[in-house]
Amino acid sequence: MAGDLLSSKVVVVEEEPRVRGIPSVPTSIAAAVGIAERGPLSEPVLCSSFEEFRARFGGFTPNADLPLAAMGFFENGGGQLWCVRVVHHTDVADKNTATALRASGFLTAGGGPTPAVVTGSLPGPFVLEPGAKLVVSVSGGPDQEAVVQATAAWLQTGAPGPYALADGQTLLVRFDGSFTQQVAFVALDFANIAAATDKELAAVFNKQILGAKATAESGLVRLTSDTQGTASKVEVLGGTAAAALGFPGAPAVGTGNVASVRATSIAELLALAAGLAGAVPSATPAGALSLRTVATGVAVTLQVRLGTSPAFGLDQDLHTGAASGAANALRVEGKDPGAYGNRLEVEARAPISGEPGVFDLVVLEGGLFRERFPNLRMTPGTERHVERVVNDTRTGSLLVRVTDQLLPGAPIPPPQTVALAGGNDGLVGLTDADFLGSEAGRTGLRAIDRIQDISLLLVPGRATPAVHNGMLQYAEVVREGTMFALLDPPAGASATDIVTYAEATAALLGLSEFGALYWPRVKVLNPARSVFGSSDTLVVPPSGILAGVFARTDAARPGGVYDPPAGIEAGRMFGVLGFETDEVLEEKKRDLVYPKRINPLTTGPGLPRFIDGSRTLKGDGNFPFVAERRGVIFIERSLKQGLQFARHKNNTEGLRATVRRTITGFLLAQMNNGAFRSRDPVKAFFVDVSDLLNTPAVIFAGKLLARIGLATNKPAEFIVLSISQDTRALEAELAQS
Strands 610-611 and 180-184: unpaired
What residues are paired with 525 via a beta bridge? 537
pLDDT band at 143 (very low <50, low <70, confident <90, very high): very high
Per-residue pLDDT at 433: 93
Q: What count of other Cβ atoms lies within 10 Å of the Cβ of residue 524?
A: 22
**pLDDT exceeds cutoff 70 at 240:** yes
pLDDT band at 461 (very low <50, low <70, confident <90, very high): confident
Q: Using an 8 Å Cβ cutoff, are 502 and 508 in contact? A: yes
**pLDDT exceeds cutoff 70 at 3:** no
Per-residue pLDDT at 406: 87
CA distance 705 to 713: 26
pLDDT tens digits, one per residue of 271-294: 999 999 999 998 887 789 999 998
Q: What count of other Cβ atoms lies within 10 Å of the Cβ of residue 497?
A: 17
Q: What is the residue extent of each domain of the chain? A: 30-90+429-628, 152-253, 332-419, 654-737
pLDDT band at 5 (very low <50, low <70, confident <90, very high): low
Q: Using an 8 Å Cβ cutoff, are 110 and 413 in contact? A: no
Q: How far is CA 620 from CA 178, 360, 504, 510, 617, in A?
A: 33, 66, 19, 8, 9
CA distance 486 to 543: 6
pLDDT tens digits, one per residue of 579-616: 999 999 999 999 999 999 999 999 999 999 999 999 99
CA distance 129 to 148: 8
The fold of the 30-90+429-628 domain, in CATH, is Rossmann fold (3.40.50)
pLDDT band at 4 (very low <50, low <70, confident <90, very high): low
Closest of 70, 196, 193 to residue 575, by C-alpha: 70
Strands 537-540 and 318-320: unpaired
Q: 673-677 long-range contacts, Cβ below 8 Å, gap at least 24?
A: 673/557, 673/558, 673/559, 673/562, 674/559, 674/562, 674/563, 674/713, 675/559, 675/562, 675/631, 675/635, 675/710, 675/712, 675/713, 676/710, 676/711, 676/712, 676/713, 677/711, 677/712, 677/713, 677/714
In the chain, what percentage of residues exceed pLDDT 70?
A: 99
Say if domain 152-253 classifies as CATH 2.60.40.
Answer: yes
**pLDDT exceeds cutoff 80 at 390:** yes
Per-residue pLDDT at 718: 72
Q: What count of other Cβ atoms lies within 10 Å of the Cβ of residue 270?
A: 16
Mean pLDDT throughout 675-699? Answer: 95
**pLDDT exceeds cutoff 80 at 385:** yes
Closest of 334, 470, 445, 401 to residue 86, by C-alpha: 445
pTM of the model: 0.78
CA distance 464 to 34: 13
pLDDT tens digits, one per residue of 11-66: 787 777 767 778 888 999 999 999 999 999 999 999 999 999 999 999 999 989 99
**pLDDT exceeds cutoff 90 at 499:** yes
When the pLDDT of each residue in the chain is averaged and rounded to a whole number, the result is 93
Q: Which residue has the higher pLDDT, 737 or 283?
A: 283
Q: Which of 36-40, 85-89, 95-99 has the lowest mean pLDDT?
A: 95-99
Closest of 581, 556, 583 to residue 567, by C-alpha: 556
Per-residue pLDDT at 94: 87
pLDDT tens digits, one per residue of 323-332: 888 888 999 9
**HEC-encoded secondary structure of 325-341:** CCEEEEEEEECCCCHHH
What residues are paired with 264 via a beta bridge? 126
Mean pLDDT throughout 392-397? Answer: 95
Determine phi and psi for 207, rounding to 5 degrees: -75, -25
Q: How far is CA 267 from CA 260, 288, 377, 403, 485, in A?
A: 13, 10, 29, 16, 35
Q: How far is CA 149 from CA 24, 146, 255, in A?
A: 54, 10, 8
Helix axes 543-555 and 66-75, enclosed angle (nearest 10): 30
pLDDT tens digits, one per residue of 690-708: 999 999 999 999 999 999 9
